[in-house]
Amino acid sequence: MSTGSDAISDPTFPAAQRPDAIKAIPVRHPWRWVAAVVVLAFAAAVIYTFATAPGLQWSVVGQFLFYPEILRGILVTLELTAIAMVIGVVLGVILAVMRLSVNPIVSSVSWFYIWFFRGTPVLVQIFFWFNIGSILPYLHIGIPFTHLFWIGTTNKIITPLLAAILGLGLNEAAYMSEIVRAGIISVDTGQTEAAQALGMTRVLVMRRIVLPQAMRVIIPPTGNETISMLKTSSLAYIATVGELFFIQKEISNFNYDIIELAIVASIWYLAMTSVLTFGQYYLERYFARGASRLLPPTPLQRLRRLLFHFHDPPPVGPFEPPPIYEERLR
Amino acid sequence: MATPMVLAESVYKCFGRLEVLRGINLSVAPREVLCIVGPSGSGKSTFLRCINHLEKIDGGRLSVDGELVGYRQRGDKIYELPDREVCRKRAEIGMVFQRFNLFPHMTALENIMEAPLRVKGEAQKAVEERGRALLKRVGLADKVDVYPNHLSGGQQQRVAIARALAMQPKLMLFDEPTSALDPELVGEVLDVMRGLAQDGMTMVVVTHEMGFAREVGDSLVFMDGGVIVESGSPREVLSNPQHERTRSFLSKVL
């Protein structure tokens, strides 16, 4: 048996200082450079070809980029996306909870809804709502067995905008309900049991315990759906809604600068999806609280690290000598 | 004689064709600590979960504090209790799980405050005070605002005990509370449970900690194959088991 002082004086491993970090000459990777150059050259060629296309008038793109009609179309696109997503999320949560219900009728109705709305094209659905006045000229809303009712012309109630909102929103709900259901299933059953053991009712367990945890699984695909919806909302042009795509098409019908106006619309769609991507990141961080020990870096933090600290070694704290334990066997 | 806190009369339970409980008879007096031991699959956890109606029994009678669990008796007829009533009764029984099951999206204090606030509808201020006092009692006064993921297993289980106590239960159920812990952390949880027993809490503890059962338990039952093989004072059963099955089990775990 030896004493602790032996360990300190052991010359093969001096415990009182940290060994220097390894300084080795890194392996070279010439093929990585080759691949990078090839890809860049190809990309540059494609961009150059389009940017210098003889028929393309960049001045027209510039002229219409901030055209008031276009800007108004952007507002309608945003409005349409927001309302359709709200309908999609709210109805989606309801459908998901219905689908997981113990009542077989309730869960099959939800199944049928999803089957139907996911199985038909959204373009057809918008078209359907837009033309519903042709089969139901009047809408009645009344209380059964009374003479209290309200009646209106379908074409006045279901405006083009409402037709688009119904088509996009009801379709989205079918997709959202599957996303929400996946989120709910992902929460450990022990959570439900613990909450029930505390005397919480089913509704309370869902609202306070399960759904907040399901959010972590639900948020990323929902962000995806929102971005997708922003672009899918262009289908509302079939219902003559004055959103971005419809407006740019109206203008190019008039001046025949089809590609230029398509570029204008694309620039705006790209700008809007970029902002959404950014927002999604912060939403995910919020719902990750408590779930992981370290929050993921924000896009800005990532960019900063990529630009300025890419080759930095990971940070190390000040050296503290390890405690010396008595060695019992030597 | 006072009403027993838990009274089981030939309690029977099956999952499909598998009979998990085959006639359990036992009674737990107020302030008593009952330990249930036995091999895994013997039905001891299932029995515990029947007491707060997380599982429904298929036969026999089970009552807590003189009232049937999950049912109400009027004359000869037995009525199933509506969900709201089941929840109200569960709120009077605390339960601690093997895997803690803390709510990961809430801090330690929020975990404790959730049920008193939402289930009992108590005032925020009183609940917060009680929550802080409970955390102090389990030795975690400095972890008030910490999320469960940042706590060790032993700390998490102590928060879970505090969460159950915040509802001021008349009975506490422990389902292998130390089985998921590193050996080094078992002691801190058992200390909290020991303190609870000394304060006169009625407890039913499913455990593999024979030392705890011997020291803290007032009575002990040994279960196997869905029946109680042997019961008595922990000291008697553990040091002088009468039944062959008990002897072979104890020789492996002691």
| pLDDT, tens only, B59-97 | 999 999 999 999 998 888 999 999 999 999 999 999 999
Cα nearest neighbour of B167 on chain A:
A198
| pTM for the model | 0.79
The pLDDT mean for chain A works out to 86
Give the whole-angstrom CA distance, residue B211 versus residue B186: 12
Band (A4; pLDDT cuts 50, 70, 90): very low
Instruction: Check if the beta carbon of residue B127 is closer than 8 Å to that of residue B113.
Output: yes
Cα nearest neighbour of B145 on chain A:
A290
Using CA atoms, how far residue A293 sits from A215, A220, B148, B150, B203, in Å, is 18, 19, 10, 7, 35
Region A306-329: mean pLDDT is: 68
Residue whose C-alpha is closest to residue A251's, from A80, A75, A57, A64: A64
Residue whose C-alpha is closest to residue A246's, from A255, A238, A258, A257: A238
DSSP type of residue B18: E
| pLDDT, tens only, A119-176 | 999 999 999 999 988 888 888 787 877 777 778 888 888 889 999 999 999 999 999 9
Q: Is B206 exposed, middle or buried, given 0-12, 13-18 or 19+ CB atoms closer than 10 A?
A: buried
CB contact under 8 A, B104 and A212: no
Region of A221 (left: φ > 0; alpha: ψ -120 to 50; beta: rest) is alpha
What is the least distance, in Å, from the CA of B236 to any CA of chain A? 33
The pLDDT mean for chain B works out to 94
Q: Which domains does chain A have, with CATH numbers?
A: 56-311 (1.10.3720.10)
Region A279-284: mean pLDDT is: 83
Q: Which residue has 């030939």 as its token pair?
A: B10
Region A241-255: mean pLDDT is: 92
Region B153-169: mean pLDDT is: 96
Residue A198 has its nearest CB partner, among B99, B149, B167, at B167
Q: Which chain A residues touch B160 with a CB distance below 8 Å?
A: 194
Res A178: pLDDT = 94
Q: Which chain B residues touch A292 with a CB distance below 8 Å?
A: 149
Res A329: pLDDT = 55
Show Cβ contacts of residue A25 under 8 Å, excluding neighbours closer than 6 positions: none
| pLDDT, tens only, A194-235 | 999 999 999 999 999 999 999 888 988 999 999 999 999 999
Res B4: pLDDT = 94
| pLDDT, tens only, B45-57 | 999 999 999 999 9
